[in-house]
């Protein structure tokens, strides 16, 4: 989770402080708290992780993907339109 959070934050072009503030953390702890999450020293609670996912446009399961391929698939699914999802499901069901 820690590495994926950092990857998403950097991809969004946000500093740890900026992300913490947007996530409504107190300004005095915004940067240290996000740093602790990214270092794996502390785990955000579910509500905070959902908020971070919304800010960074990442689905909750993406943070826990066991490998990069799974993470990429989860992100692609999250960003796909409803029509594209239906097409992908239909194609996946083909023998």
Model confidence over 44-62: pLDDT tens digits?
A: 999 999 999 999 999 999 9
DSSP character at residue 66: S
Residue range 2-93 in CATH 3.40.50.150? no
User: What is the pTM for the complete model shown?
Assistant: 0.86
> Which pLDDT score is estimated for 95?
86
Model confidence over 33-45: pLDDT tens digits?
A: 999 999 999 999 9
The values of phi and psi at residue 55, to 5°, are -65, -40
Tell me the two tokens of residue 72: 């990429």
């Amino acid at each position: 989770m820690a590495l994926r959070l950092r990857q998403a934050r950097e991809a969004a072009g946000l500093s740890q402080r900026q992300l913490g503030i947007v996530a409504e953390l107190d300004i005095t702890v915004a940067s240290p708290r996000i740093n602790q999450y990214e270092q794996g020293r502390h785990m955000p609670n579910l509500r905070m992780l959902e908020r971070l996912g919304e800010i960074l446009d990442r689905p909750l399961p993406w943070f826990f993907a066991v490998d990069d391929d799974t993470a990429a698939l989860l992100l692609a699914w999250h960003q796909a339109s409803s029509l594209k999802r239906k097409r992908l499901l239909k194609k996946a069901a083909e023998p």
